Structure 1
Amino acid sequence: MTQAAALPLGEHVRVAGRSLFTHRSGRGGPPVVFLPGASMVGLHYLNLHNRIAEHTTCVLYDRAGTGFSERIPLPRTAAEVADELRELLRVSGISGPYLLVAHSLGGVYARRFAQRYPDQVAGLVSLEGAHEDWDDYMPPELRIQHGAADAPMPEPSTEIIQRFRELITAKLADWPAEIRELLIERQLDLEWMRIGALERSNLATVFAELRRGGPIPDVPYLLYTANGIDPSQRLFLSEELLRVQGERKLAMYRALAAAAPRGEHRVLAHGSHSWLHMDQPEEVVEGILDVLKRV
């Protein structure tokens, strides 16, 4: 393990010949592991990490090919990502079972991990985790099978970049200055934007993989829905589509929680999909701690 170059915290760990960024704090168990959404990295969850580390071991990391980890070809299968995470935790000496907190695309990888290593999962928290039932609820314009996820990323205009900079700066206002500035510059980098788009470009494939993978273990499963409009999506989608998407994703996550033996659904009234853990961090921390008590 070596200290992460040019980063104020964390280290790089060699996993299957690749260098993965990870940051670990706290003691005890079950360990809480954050799985970022596409275009996000582990340090975007530092606000939650620091709070949860007061209670147990807490882990942030970047998947291979993303963030501050080594670049590799993308996209990958969900099994590859799940196996990589399992090996990272083993090499790092962090014993399970784990409470997996997964945001957006990270939800696919968390549930694939649960399918492959059911005895290593103590609980799941979904921060609007991506789910294979999405197309069953959405209008044609937003369905994965119709290319909503894998369309080529348009070149953002100078105006959009500036508006995105203002948005990110506001969302990261409470982060340490050296981390905040680094994340802002990297997140606005066109390479990082393309990596995010590329990583999520095989959603139809990984959704099919999940359908074949079998059930997830019967563990506490908390699903959050953000009921606010995502300001990032407002740059690309109409107000009407955003309204319909909000109504239908609420119905989807509510149904998923009802179908899980130990499922629970909570709504973040002012949260937005990309930023829900920054919009309402107190509520998310409360939920994670509630699941920790249940496991």
Structure 2
Amino acid sequence: MPQFAPTRRTRLPAIRALPTRKGRLGYVLSGHGPAHVVLFSGAGMSLQGWEPLYPGVERIARVLGWNRFGLPGSDRPRGPQTGSHVVASLRELLAATHLAPPYVLVAHSVGGLYANLFARLHPEEVAGVLFIEATHPGDPLVLKKHATQVERALSRVLALPNALLRPNLHSELAGVEQTVREIEAAGSFPDVPLRVLTGGLTPRAWLMSPAAVGARRANQQELARLSPRGEQVIAQKSGHFPQLTEPRLVLRVLEELIVEVRTA
């Protein structure tokens, strides 16, 4: 079984900026491992949310992380961010940074919708997928209903002012229904190694009702069935942010996924 030996440093590499057709995107690109990993953050979640995975992730992959429009280091969005717009801006970034496919997509929360769409639109460029508490196409109505609570929760988790998170969060939630329609109209999810990492802790009642929790847990299991090589892993000590609360587990699951990709 692959082994991960963490170190104490958890600082991100320097964030660079790329001018694109729709505005400037902030990104980090580092690492020298055999796989090419692309990180998809959740709505309102900046690159800071991946910091606990560094530098361990850099030893197992060449890693591209990026801030979508509306997050610090990137320009404000020019309207609702639908999945097709997000995927197009990512592909522009990938081309500019010369990060060649195939990719292992690592997606958290709403970022799971964008990774889901990317994998369906460009299956030949995807080697594997790791969904971390990822949004299922059936989840967005719950997210929109609780948008204010999500904003407050993110602000507490990241220790950032709400004003820094709001432009991205609101523009992405405004486009999420269109993103779901785009996923439904895209091709099949590819037959690739897939892991679905789900938080084992139950959300507080003010954030999600018991009925919504049950529906979302069923949707997490359904995500794992997208590929015949899919598997669900429970992060027993985590809620919605396993990459913050159990980064060693996230890295272990990612490393095992990369080994499966390379030996497939």
Q: 1:263/1:92 Cα in 2 relative to 1: closer, same or farther (>3 Å)?
A: same
TM-score by length of 2: 0.84
Structure 1 residues 248-293: Cα deviation after superposition (integer angstroms, max 9, x where no partner): 32222223323521101111112111x2211111111111001100
Provide the residue aligned with 2:244 in structure 1.
278
Instruction: Confirm or deny that 1:289 pairs with 2:259.
Output: no
Aligned-residue identity in percent: 26
Structure 1 residues 158-192: Cα deviation after superposition (integer angstroms, max 9, x where no partner): xx97x976x43xxxxxxxxxxxxxx63xx323252
Unaligned runs of 5+ in 2: 1-11
Letter in 1 for 2:256: D
Corresponding residue pairs, total: 250
Q: Map residues 1-295 of structure 1 onto 2, 5 A cutoff.
A: 9-16=14-21, 18-134=23-139, 144=141, 148-150=142-144, 167-168=156-157, 184=159, 187-230=160-203, 236-237=206-207, 241=209, 243-273=210-240, 275-295=241-261
Letter in 2 for 1:237: L
Q: Supply the RMSD in Å over aligned alpha carbons.
A: 2.7
Question: More relative contact order in 1 or in 2 (CA 8 Å, sep 6+)?
Answer: 2
Larger Rg: 1
Tell me the distance in 2 between the aligned counterparts of 1:258 and 1:213.
17
Check whether the contact 2:33–2:59 (CA below 8 A) recurs between aligned residues.
no
TM-score by length of 1: 0.76
Structure 1 residues 61-80: Cα deviation after superposition (integer angstroms, max 9, x where no partner): 11123332111223222111
Q: Secondary structure at the match of 1:219?
A: coil
Check whether the contact 1:32–1:58 (CA below 8 A) recurs between aligned residues.
yes
Tell me the distance in 1 between the aligned counterparts of 2:147 and 2:256.
38
Alpha-carbon distance, 1:15 to partner: 2.3
Q: Secondary structure at the match of 2:179?
A: helix
Q: 1:256/1:90 Cα in 2 relative to 1: closer, same or farther (>3 Å)?
A: same
Unaligned runs of 5+ in 1: 1-6, 135-142, 169-182
Moved more, 99-108 or 19-28: 19-28
Tell me the distance in 1 between the aligned counterparts of 2:191 and 2:182.
20
